[in-house]
């Protein structure tokens, strides 16, 4: 037997309960345990004991969310499902039930399927490597793109300092010995990053990497456009044309795409001709820029995070107040599986657990054997073989699988205490 939505909604009125179909409906509801579970009732009742009754019925009910209609339905212990039909949305009381705001069903992403991404304009990383690594470790960033590294081919020492245990660093400096510019990529060791292209055109420089996340690749393009100056007399019109040509060569390639960097265009000024041309270039290729907050101290949006419109790889973007230059730090959560940490085999001996008396006794026996040997080679061979055998006897080699975790050599307990104090004072400053 089927009852329309209008008939079921009329059950709340007394005149409807005199209808012939009302008694049949009540019988059906009782047979399906709907009335017994307290989902609906035939009389209003009183408020007394409402909390006790609610506790009794909570164990028998579960809420099911329907994304299509954004309406909740209730399932009892039986096999019958009752939900709001879509035939009529307006009840007899002239109330549209579809105007109700549904409960937000937020998609939860665990740490294993979410990559922490960072974009930092450093303006010379030479004297900021320690502060940069401290920030990357503190924020637990997996992949960090750097613009304006200002590195040259002779800065190998700086590159080495940006490779702490658990991280790797790659960069593409400017060619022909020109100062400024430069693009870098700081990432975890368990994320495979291979540079597939790099170069410069008149208006900007770029680097292209292919990142592997558990056999799921991501094409990452980092661009930097210097502003117009006496040394760089290239207009924005040239940049729009060359950037469009570059995007055409990138969007046709497979794999999810992410284009980030500093374009030095005030993207928050939507009425500006340069901003409109930039957005038109992105729209023509089904791309969108997702940074919405100012990234420069002047209050303008200069740094970009660009993705395909039909891709949902970027879950969220945040602009932080941390400043390594006149640009703020941009972070994003990317929906990609995080590779497991690197595991290596380490060989070690438990030297501290050696029985010293027994160990010394074995050493004396070897020394006594060597007293009658005059040949130097035979004596060295005896010491090598016997001493190694004694060491293997008292402290055998143990093989352990060790997880390589990021570690800063200068991070100690004093620094950790200072960080905690800084966090407490920051919270007090924000809220009070």
Query: 3-state SS of the chain: helix, strand, coil percent to 5?
Result: 30, 25, 40
Render 124-170 in DSSP notation, one character per residue: --TTTHHHHHHHHHHHT-SEEEEE-----TT-HHHHHHT--TTEEEE
Mean pLDDT is lowest, of 25-34, 180-189, 200-209, 284-293, for: 25-34
In the numeric block, which tokens belong to residue 195? Answer: 């540079």
Instruction: Encode pLDDT of 276-294 as tens digits.
Output: 999 999 999 999 999 999 9
111-334, superfamily in CATH?
Endonuclease/exonuclease/phosphatase (3.60.10.10)
Average pLDDT over residues 236-247: 95
C-beta of residue 201 within 8 angstroms of C-beta of residue 242: yes
C-beta of residue 375 within 8 angstroms of C-beta of residue 321: no
pTM for this predicted structure: 0.62
- Residue 394 has, within 13 A of its CA and on its CB side, a CA count of 18
Share of the chain above pLDDT 70, in %: 71
Confidence (pLDDT) at 151: 94
Mean pLDDT is lowest, of 24-33, 180-189, 200-209, 311-320, for: 24-33
The C-alpha atoms of residue 370 and residue 156 are separated, in whole angstroms, by: 50
The C-alpha atoms of residue 352 and residue 23 are separated, in whole angstroms, by: 85
Mean pLDDT is lowest, of 122-126, 253-257, 427-431, for: 427-431
Q: Reply yes or no on whether the pLDDT at 106 is more than 60.
A: no
Q: Where are the domains of the chain?
A: 5-99, 111-334, 343-403
Confidence (pLDDT) at 239: 96
Confidence (pLDDT) at 66: 34
Starting at the edge strand that comes first in sequence, how are the strands of the sheet with 71-75 ordered?
Answer: 62-66, 71-75, 81-82
Return the closest-CA partner of residue 260 out of 235, 237, 289. 289
């Amino acid at each position: 037997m089927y009852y329309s939505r209008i008939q079921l909604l009329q059950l709340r009125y007394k005149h409807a309960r005199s209808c012939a179909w009302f008694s049949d409906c009540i019988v059906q509801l009782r047979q399906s345990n709907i009335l017994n579970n307290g989902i609906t009732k035939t009389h209003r009742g009183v408020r007394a004991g409402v909390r006790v009754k609610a506790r009794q019925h909570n164990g028998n009910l579960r809420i099911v969310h329907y994304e299509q209609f954004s309406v909740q339905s209730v399932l009892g212990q039986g096999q019958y499902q009752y939900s709001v039909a879509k035939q009529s949305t307006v009840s007899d009381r002239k109330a549209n039930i579809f105007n109700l705001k549904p409960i937000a069903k937020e998609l939860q992403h665990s740490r294993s399927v979410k990559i922490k991404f960072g974009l930092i304009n450093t303006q010379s990383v030479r004297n900021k490597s320690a502060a940069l690594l401290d920030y990357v470790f503190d924020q637990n960033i997996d992949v960090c793109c750097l613009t304006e590294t200002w590195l040259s081919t002779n800065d190998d020492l700086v590159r080495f300092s940006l490779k702490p245990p658990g991280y790797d660093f790659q960069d593409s400096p400017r060619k022909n010995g020109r100062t400024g510019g430069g693009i870098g990529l700081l990432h975890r060791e368990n994320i495979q990053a291979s540079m597939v292209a790099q170069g410069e055109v008149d208006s900007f420089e770029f680097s292209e990497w292919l990142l592997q996340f558990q056999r799921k690749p991501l094409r990452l393009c980092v661009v930097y456009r210097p502003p117009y100056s006496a040394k760089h007399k290239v207009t924005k019109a040239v940049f729009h044309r060359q950037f469009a040509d570059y995007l055409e060569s990138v969007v046709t390639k497979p794999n999810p795409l992410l284009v980030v960097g500093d374009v030095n265009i005030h993207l928050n000024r939507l009425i500006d001709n340069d901003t409109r041309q930039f957005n038109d270039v992105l729209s023509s290729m089904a791309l969108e820029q997702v940074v919405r907050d100012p990234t420069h101290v002047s209050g303008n949006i200069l740094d970009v995070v660009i993705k395909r419109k039909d891709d949902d790889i970027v879950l969220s973007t945040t602009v932080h107040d941390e400043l390594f230059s006149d640009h703020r730090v941009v972070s994003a959560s990317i929906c990609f599986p995080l590779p497991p940490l690197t595991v290596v085999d380490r060989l070690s001996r438990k030297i501290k657990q050696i029985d010293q008396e027994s160990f010394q006794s074995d050493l004396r026996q070897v020394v006594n054997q060597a007293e009658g040997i005059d040949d130097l080679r035979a004596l060295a061979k005896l010491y090598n073989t016997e001493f190694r055998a004694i060491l293997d006897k008292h402290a055998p080699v143990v093989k352990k699988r060790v997880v390589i975790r990021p570690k800063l050599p200068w991070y100690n307990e004093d620094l950790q205490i200072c960080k905690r104090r800084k966090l407490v004072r920051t919270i007090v400053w924000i809220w009070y």
